[in-house]
Structure 1
Amino acid sequence: MSISKQGDWISAKVGDEIVMMSAEEGKYIGLNDVGARIWELLDESKTRDALEARLLEEFDVTPDACRAELDSFLTKLAEFRAITLN
């Protein structure tokens, strides 16, 4: 599955977190440190599998938990129209 950022989302780092806003969508999102890292990784990792591999390297998490949490997070970002999933 390939992933692309979409829309006019702008983001700002606040501590370990990221705050994102889209004027087009009229929405904002606050991302915790893991969500913030995923958002950053989307600039270089364009597939779900590549994201999962990087997260498994960087965080102390089991593959099953990583997969479930990543899929849930990507679904939420897609619902906000911050990314497209292909």
Structure 2
Amino acid sequence: MNLNQTITLSPDVISQEVSGETVLLDLESENYFGLDEVGTRIWQLIKETNDLETIFNTLLAEYDVSEERLLGDLDALLGEIAGLGLVKLEQRA
């Protein structure tokens, strides 16, 4: 995963936190998606900043996890939600 990227939320997605988890609704496809507690934290950070390196460093400080594990987990989640069109990843200029 390249941390020199920005991440942008799709304007077609609305989210709602419910009991520590997040439900996402893609208005274009009318599909619902669920995020667990960690996925919810990542979603919150994406809403606060579009800088992937900042998101990574914040998560690294908040969770007891190795850099390699966090990179892999973050890459998996972002790859999945980007593939669904919920976010867009772009190289930072």
Question: Does the alignment reach a TM-score above 0.5?
Answer: yes
Match of 1:40 in 2: 44
Q: Which letter does structure 1 place at the counterpart of 2:74?
A: L
Match of 2:89 in 1: 85
Q: Which letter does structure 1 place at the counterpart of 2:68?
A: D
Match of 1:72 in 2: 76
Q: Compute the displacement of 1:17 (Å).
A: 0.4
- Unmatched 5+ stretches in structure 1: none
Query: TM-score normalised to the size of structure 2?
Result: 0.87
Structure 2 residue 27 is matched with structure 1 residue 31: no
Q: Which portions of structure 1, spanning 4 or more consecutive aligned residues, are displaced by more than 4 angstroms?
A: none
Query: TM-score normalised to the size of structure 1?
Result: 0.93
What is the count of residue pairs matched by the alignment? 86
Q: Compute the displacement of 1:3 (Å).
A: 0.5
Q: Compute the displacement of 1:12 (Å).
A: 1.0
Match of 1:54 among 46, 52, 58: 58
- Unmatched 5+ stretches in structure 2: none
Q: Compute the displacement of 1:40 (Å).
A: 0.6
Match of 2:17 in 1: 13
Identity %: 33
Deviations along 1:40-85, one digit per CA (max 9) or x if unpaired, are 1012221221111010011111110001100111111101111000
Distance in 2 between residues matched to 1:84 and 1:23, nearest whole Å: 16
